[in-house]
Amino acid sequence: MYPNSKVFVVGFMAKVRLDDSNRLNTRLSEQRAETVAKTLLELGIPDEKLVIIGLGENGGSHFRIDEHPNGVFDTVIAQQNRKVMLIPDLSEDSIKVLEIKNELDALRK
């Protein structure tokens, strides 16, 4: 129906510790997204339809804080943050994902 549309394969990860030093460490979340994208390719989805993005713990509304203010790590919430989402490029979520990705890219420079 939308021949030019794409799907964002977006990986997330749990926050590792209370400090902010892992804010830019998105490689694990990107690897998660790549694994899902590989499966989609094996199922016949064309490569040009997939956009792989790793947002780490920077997932906006798709990320829940997995540490309490006292520093106690909530393993249940952390497990929920370790995920990959498929987001169509025609959705409002895709705009937010690109905004976060652009912010991360700018911080890396």
CATH code for the domain of 15: 3.30.1330
Percent of the chain residues topping a pLDDT of 90: 34
The count of structural domains within the chain is 1
In a domain, 2, yes or no: no
- The single residue listed with the structure tokens 């929920």 is 80
More confident residue, 109 or 35: 35
Beta strands in 21-60 (DSSP E): 50-56
Position 62 pLDDT exceeds 80:
no
Mean pLDDT value of segment 88-104? 88
pTM beyond 0.85, yes or no: no
Helix (H), strand (E) counts: the chain: 3, 3
Range of the domain at 80: 7-108
Mean pLDDT value of segment 56-72? 74
Percent of the chain residues topping a pLDDT of 70: 86
Identity of the amino acid at 55: L
In a domain, 1, yes or no: no
